[in-house]
Amino acid sequence: MKGWIYKISHQRADDNKNGFPGMCYVGQHRGKSINERFTQHKREARNFEHNIDRAKESKFAKLHEAMRIARPENFIIEELEEIQDEDINQLILKLNAAELKYQKKFNSINEGWNIVDAPKSSRARVSTEKSIVQIANENGVTYSSLIHRINNIGETIEEAVNHLKNYAIKPKIKYEYKRQVFQSISSISNSKLHNKYNLDKKTIERRIKELKNSNSLKLRFDKKKNENIYILIDEIFNPKRSYKEYSVKTPEGDILSGLIIDLHKELIKRFPKLVPEKYTTIQSRLKKENWNTQQAFGFEYPPDLMEIKPLIEKKGYKWAISKPDFKKQNSKPVVLKVRKEIFVSQDEFSNTYGLAKDLVSDHLNAGKTPEAILDFYDLNP
């Protein structure tokens, strides 16, 4: 059996420079390769949401938050040491000792992305396959699942047992409608009696999710069966909305009404520089709560630029390099107050001053003003 000690550090994909020199994460892995573990880190980073409770639960939160902010593709993994031992207990002890050694060497606890020291002797200890079988039986988990998580995922026995126990006691999700209990959303969508308008599974799934998020569905817990049962309502099975007509005021002052597809055909002929090329773009915009009809057709500043409008029209600000294209504007502007200039995007601001895009993004996300960023790099506005 073998395992690895690895180091994760920042390295920009475009120029191979480290934007966070001196910072790294040191970890250990038992599985096929450290690249397998790196893929898991990147996936978890993309799914990371900053949440205090979640951060406490996850020992990788500090690393994953950094990877999420600076983007996973701008990080690399390096093998520091490969360790082998026939005894899994001895292998774990060696890995723990080596991980702690490298954490101290690179100061990855105080100055890096590690949150806690590597364990010294708290890992669950086993010396034979027979003992793993015994542990599985004692904890009421399957041997095959336990050995898979230890050997292929690289978890300690304690971590694997806890995961399998939590999974086993996690309540099953079921759905109740008209006093009938369904095992899945698929079974509901296949019921001709209950799904009389023949809605597809995705539509029903989306409507249930929206109601869950707004706490509009009652939840009943069946303790005996260990089941969470959502009580569905008639609204979920309503027929799809009929085609909706919209009204829009053109730059020339006239008002047109009709279906999106018909309005698009007419307006793109008259205003090709403003109206998006595809009517589906207008459809998707109107599905969002913060877009109105004027904005969707490109006749008004899009939502992300509405706060910019009074600066341009009333306070003497100017577009720094280029004007926004309302047909495809989907980026947030950068306002440089000291020069009364507005950059249509972070990329435009970065390119103008020769700064790395990801570092500019990091600074802005941290709450720094454009002026403060330029001052940080000793640049004149």
What average pLDDT does this structure show over 206-218? 88
Give the tens place of pLDDT for each residue, 110-143: 889 987 666 554 333 444 444 677 788 888 778 7
Helix residue spans in 190-240 (DSSP H):
201-213
The conformation of residue 106, written as its DSSP 8-state character, comes to T
Closest residue by Cα to residue 156 from 89, 221, 100, 253: 89
Question: Which of residues 332 and 178 earns the better pLDDT score?
Answer: 178
Q: What percent of the chain is predicted at pLDDT more than 70?
A: 89
φ/ψ of 172, rounded to 5, equals -80, 145
Q: What is the mean pLDDT of the chain?
A: 85
- The mean per-residue pLDDT over the stretch 68-86 comes to 92
- pLDDT digit string (tens) for 34-44? 998 899 899 88
Half-sphere exposure of 298 (CA within 13 A, CB side): 23
Which of the four pLDDT bands, split at 50, 70 and 90, describes residue 222? confident
Mean pLDDT of 149-155: 70
Position 130 scores a pLDDT of 45
Q: Residue 189's pLDDT band (boundaries 50, 70, 90)?
A: very high
Q: What are phi and psi of 6, to 5 degrees?
A: -130, 160
Q: What is the mean pLDDT of residues 359-373?
A: 93
Element (H, E) at 229: strand 227-231
Comparison of pLDDT for 271 and 141, the residue scoring more: 271
Residue 331, pLDDT score = 75
pLDDT of residue 243: 65
Closest CA to 3 of 84, 58, 61, 72: 84
pLDDT > 90? residue 231 = yes
d(CA 163, CA 328) in angstroms, rounded, equals 45
Phi and psi, residue 177, nearest 5°: -145, 130
* pLDDT for residue 126: 41
Q: Which residue has the higher pLDDT, 101 or 216?
A: 101
What's the mean pLDDT in 22-44? 89
CB contact burial 283-311 (16+ within 10 A = b; e otherwise): eebbeeeebebebbbbbbbbeebeebeeb
For residue 163, what pLDDT band results from cuts at 50, 70 and 90? confident
What value does the mean pLDDT take over residues 203-220? 89
Q: Give residue for tokens 């006691």.
A: 169
Q: Give the pLDDT confidence score for residue 375 in this predicted structure.
A: 93
Please report the pLDDT score of residue 319 as a whole number.
94
Burial of 267 (0-12, 13-18, 19+ CB in 10 A): buried
Instruction: Please determine, for residue 260, whether its predicted confidence score (pLDDT) is greater than 50.
Output: yes
Mean pLDDT (whole number) for 346-372: 93
